[in-house]
Amino acid sequence: MSDSYNPPDTPLSVLHEDHEILVVDKPSGLLSVPGRGEHLADCLIRRVQAAFPTALLVHRLDRDTSGVMVFGLTPHAQRHLGLQFEHRRTKKIYVARVWGKLEPKTGEVDLPLCVDWPNRPRQMVDHENGKPAQTEWKVVKTSDSESRVRLFPRTGRSHQLRVHMLALGHPILGDPFYAEGAARDFPRLMLHSEELRLLHPDGGEGMRFRAKAPF
């Protein structure tokens, strides 16, 4: 990551808080956890813990991705939620704007992914060494130049949605790693975690949290 890290100076946006969990709307441009070096110290978990000292990390979003993130407020909640993510019991829905007219209107990408070591943190499709990764998509609307889509990841690989859309020939707009030319020339990565469904750690009630995409 470059030294030009300038995280947004925005107040913490809390979507839900109770005795076990905290749900927030992460802004684009903010790391989920600190990077290496003091210049990368500002991050969502530190901002959250300044207001909620017992908050514990459960999952991450990429720096440039915005949207719904959940934190455990107790060790029990962190373990419970972590197992839900590990065993794919959560449901995540993303909104993205991608380059070009994506057809057909619905489909699935099933391509294994692994890190592109010489170009970290980039990931790549690798049928020999990659881990399984599946993403379903549904087109919301299109124009001649772009498509608005909802993405439903069935796995949670690093950069999964970004690489899968690239593999379809429709990179996510504003992506600093995978988009090129006009597709890259946007003020931010046009990817947002719109909805997260999970089971509450205290009693197992199904819960749904949403944050409207800012684009």
Query: Is 2 buried (19+), middle (13-18) or exposed (0-12) by CB count in 10 A?
Result: exposed
Q: Please state, in angstroms and rounded to a whole number, the distance separating the CA atoms of residues 170 and 45.
A: 32
Concerning whether 62 is annotated as a catalytic residue, the answer is yes
Closest CA relative to residue 74, chosen from 14, 32, 24, 19: 19
Contact predicate 199/89, CB 8 Å: yes
Read off the tokens for 1: 């990551």
Contact predicate 19/202, CB 8 Å: yes
Read off the tokens for 167: 């593999």
Q: Which of 62, 116, 144, 185 is catalytic?
A: 62
Contact predicate 192/96, CB 8 Å: yes
Which one-letter DSSP state was computed for residue 172?
B
Catalytic residues: 62
